[in-house]
Amino acid sequence: MKNSTFWSIAVVIVVVVVAFSVVGYHYRAPPQPQRGEIVIHDALGGTKFVFQQPLTRIVSLDPSATVTLYALGAYKDLVGGNPPFDYYPPNETLPNVGNSFSVNYEELVNLSPQAVLGYGTTMPSYGYTINNTLDIPFILDNPESFSQIENFTLMLGELTGTESNASKIVDWMNESIDAIDSALSQIHQRYTVFYYLYAPPGDWTAGNGTFLNQIFQYSG
């Protein structure tokens, strides 16, 4: 019985040693890891985009995407932007490709982007042209809440291989929101606010389902 137990333990030890030897061997000479596909959907949820690796040539027609890429440390991956409307970083020198009203297709093609970032609640006509005619992925997004902004940030992090920075930004956002909730928890009197924005050709306000409305709700 003792001999049987001894040999059982011995076999287990040998198996464990061999297993760790094999694992150790692979860690000493690991094969080049292959990054999985990056799969994302646009804001409308109907278009799926698949990339084999992080993007390094991006055109952003979306000022919020531009500033987010800067925060992620991926500003170097931008080859074209929307300088008249981009509010950060200051003194931007990116080629001006266009805005939400018009796009310079010739400039866009010359920059050879892997994707174009746009914004809006509906697909603009130039978005169809970029996506279908020029065969450049046009990724539409339009965050309308804190959670959607967090998802947008994580998506851009995945697109540019800066997932770690994206997670840190989202954690910071959640910590900040929690701090605001805590600070305002003792305030019981709430006010109704009408936010008036004049933007020709019409007037706009921050109603339900808008980011500004959520800011007012948090601020009380």
Express as a percent the part of the chain with pLDDT over 90. 39
What span, in angstroms and rounded, lies between the C-alpha atoms of 42 and 10?
Answer: 58
Between 88 and 7, the higher pLDDT residue: 88
- Helix (H) or strand (E) holding 115, with range, is strand 115-119
- The model's confidence at residue 35, banded by pLDDT at 50, 70 and 90, is low
Between 126 and 27, the higher pLDDT residue: 126
Q: In the chain, which residues fall in CATH 3.40.50.1980?
A: 38-182
**């770690």: which residue's tokens?**
164
What span, in angstroms and rounded, lies between the C-alpha atoms of 149 and 176?
Answer: 14
Give the homologous superfamily in CATH for domain 38-182.
Nitrogenase molybdenum iron protein domain (3.40.50.1980)
Lowest mean pLDDT segment, chosen from 48-52, 79-83, 102-106, 193-197: 193-197
Are 178 and 88 a contacting pair, CB within 8 Å?
no
